[in-house]
Amino acid sequence: GGGGGAAMAEDEGLVSVDYEVSGKVQGVFFRKYTQGEAKRLGLVGWVQNTSHGTVQGQIQGPTARVREMQEWLRKIGSPQSRISRAEFSNEKKIKALEQKEFQILK
């Protein structure tokens, strides 16, 4: 909300960031909800279950939207999930989106 042309140039660019979420995040539709939230925010990337019980993936999009998604991954998740930790790594600025959509990988 709110207009104002004083937005920091920082927030205009695109970023890519990897994430891994720990806790009760498998078998609770976490990937489906993550995809839904990413699409709602207009982000691209992917999400998948790992063999050690976490969910990992990548998100790409406008910085401000990526920040919102990070908050969501940290605090909200799917209704039945219990997030204990969300870690983010490999954050970098990108000139263009490297994915076409947000997909669930097997």
- What are phi and psi for residue 19, nearest 5 degrees? -140, 155
User: What residue spans define the domains of the chain?
Assistant: 19-94
Q: Could you tell me if 19 and 96 are in contact, meaning their C-beta atoms sit under 8 angstroms apart?
A: no
Judged by DSSP in three states, 10 sits in helix
53-82: pLDDT as tens digits: 999 999 999 999 999 999 999 999 999 999
Judged by DSSP in three states, 28 sits in coil
Specify the range with the lowest mean pLDDT, choosing from 2-6, 50-54, 64-68, 87-91. 2-6
| Residues labelled catalytic | 31, 49
* Of the candidates 57, 42, 69, 54, the residue with the CA atom closest to the CA atom of residue 104: 57
Q: Which fold has domain 19-94?
A: Alpha-Beta Plaits (3.30.70)
